[in-house]
Amino acid sequence: NYANCRTVLIKQSHIANTYPYNTRYIKLFDFCIYLVILTLMVFNDTMFDRLIIASKNPGKVTEMQELLHGLAVKLLTYKDINWPNPQETGTTFEENAIIKASFVAQSTGIPAIADDTGLCIDALNGSPGIYTARWANDGKDYVTGIERIQKELANRPSRATYVSCVAFSIPNGHNYLFMGTLNGKIVLPPQGPIIGYESIFIPDGMDRTLSALPHDMRMQIHHRTQSIKKFKVFIDSMNAL
């Protein structure tokens, strides 16, 4: 085992009277073992056959189901398993995504994936940011949220960034994060269907708002697409070992 191998290496170094010289090899040996253990831990975390989409937002769940298509697991939603809503007390997208995913994973004993998404407007010092849904009555009234943005911007032009942070949580407490961003600018009044704040956000390189783009084009550049794609690459790469 590891301890015996390390002891043998040290004893051989003493016998050869070269222990100071071989210390660097022992450190390298320790580091290699650490990498092997870490890889095995992550590999174990990625061996699962069910995955809960930790959201009760029907629109978000539908999009995540579409984006996760092709993953060799059974996708579960709030329609399959119920759970109480955790309090999102984090101060960053990363913290809130982990709160949601880890709460569901540990409550159900099944790996979970959660997304925390927000619009960060430069002229508003990054607001609404993590409070994106709260500005819209917890995601129930984005017309009100858009009206608030329009009032606070007061006709000022502004750059903005859509952020998606996806957290993948295992019941054992391990969490993995994947970020996606989409840069653009704010346009008012809204143009296109009201999908979050996407009707006031024109992505760089586009001539219309995100919500006004054809579905395939919208999903191709979407911030959530980017974060979920990174998650799928992570899972595929570990399963290929």
Residues recognised as catalytic: 116
29 with 6: CB under 8 angstroms? yes
d(CA 230, CA 59): 21
Largest pairwise CA distance in the chain: 80
Cβ pair 59, 211 in contact under 8 A:
no
CA atoms within 13 A on the CB side of 122: 11
- The answer to whether residues 179 and 227 touch, using CB atoms and an 8 Å cutoff, is yes
